[in-house]
A = this chain, B = another copy of it.
Amino acid sequence: MGDDPAGLGHKAYRALLEPMQEELSGVARWAASTGARVLVLFEGRDTSGKTGVIHAISEKLNPRQVRTVALHTPSAREAGQWYFQRYVAQLPTAGEVVLFDRSWYNRAGVEAVMGFANPAQVQAMLAATPAFERLLVDDGLLLFKYWLCCDQAEQERRFAERRDDPFKRWKLSDIDLAARQHYDDYTCAREAMLTATHTAHAPWTLVDFNDQKRGRLTLIRDLLDRLPSTEVTVAPLDLPPLHHHAAREHYGLIAPLPPFDGQPRARRG
């Protein structure tokens, strides 16, 4: 991680991130104007920072154009369907950018390691995936696949933080804890996944997220560099002056709340 990446402070981080967010805004504008479909998959270790990087990408974008998809455990009906079916339902339409917080690779990761899928199911999914992704890519979908890396010592540190901070406890599931004994199994599962699905038409990209801020910048920079040129000429736009004084809010039935005064409240309890 070079010369003290942990030292990248909030301010420095934002200063590097924000120009990239502007570029992302340009990507979104380009997708809207061309009808491009962009799908980005985020996979990786527990605690590696999938949710955070997705937030950094979507934060400034139009929520009607950019969707995050974080599917639940399948229902019984879904479990009986074609494995890819519930993911297909979430693919982007023309002009959309969709971010998958976990994806069809679930089966090759947590399901494989924790035994929620049997080896035949895992093999079948790995064998089918290149053809499935080929169909999407041949159809013009722009597909990006990122795997976020994190050493176990750092992962342990984050688990402890989640344990100790009640407001991060939702991030800590029983499966996460059980997974602690399987760090190397996840590594093996990842390598099997790469071997089967790192293809010319849909390659994987690994990003080191031992430093989350640095990881986000690295990932977003890579994503931007791989997207087609996205300069869309924006027609100049006229805002002629109003022909009247600017109006003010006025209230009949109910008035706004008094503004928050900055005083902490007693916690409800």
Query: A interface vs B, CB < 8 Å?
Result: 1-2, 5, 16, 19, 21-23, 25-26, 28-29, 32, 35, 37, 51, 54-55, 59-65, 68, 70-72, 75-85, 88-89, 91-96, 101, 124, 127-128, 131-132, 134-136, 138-139, 141, 149-153, 155-156, 159-160, 163, 166-172, 177, 180-181, 183-184, 187, 191, 194-195, 198, 204-208, 211, 214-215, 217-219, 221-222, 224-225, 227, 229-231, 234, 237, 239, 242, 246-262, 264-265, 267-269
Q: Are B156 and A242 in contact (CB under 8 A)?
A: yes
Given contact pairs A206-B256, A265-B225, A91 touches B80 in the complex (Cβ within 8 A)? no
Which of B26, B149, B151, B167 is the one whose CB lies under 8 Å from A167? Answer: B26
Given contact pairs A171-B62, A265-B225, A80 touches B101 in the complex (Cβ within 8 A)? no
List the B residue with the shortest CB-CB distance to A132: B135
Given contact pairs A25-B167, A206-B251, A260 touches B64 in the complex (Cβ within 8 A)? no
CA A167 to CA B94, docked complex, whole Å: 20
Identical chains bound together, number: 4
Q: Are B132 and A206 in contact (CB under 8 A)?
A: no
- A255 CB to closest chain B CB (Å) equals 7
- A96 CB to closest chain B CB (Å) equals 8
Which of B151, B246, B249, B265 is the one whose CB lies under 8 Å from A248? Answer: B151
CB-defined A-B contacts under 8 Å, sample of 30: A1-B259, A2-B259, A21-B167, A22-B167, A25-B166, A32-B170, A51-B63, A55-B59, A63-B68, A80-B93, A85-B88, A85-B91, A131-B131, A132-B135, A151-B246, A152-B246, A156-B242, A177-B237, A187-B249, A187-B250, A194-B254, A195-B252, A195-B253, A206-B256, A208-B256, A208-B257, A208-B259, A217-B260, A225-B268, A231-B267
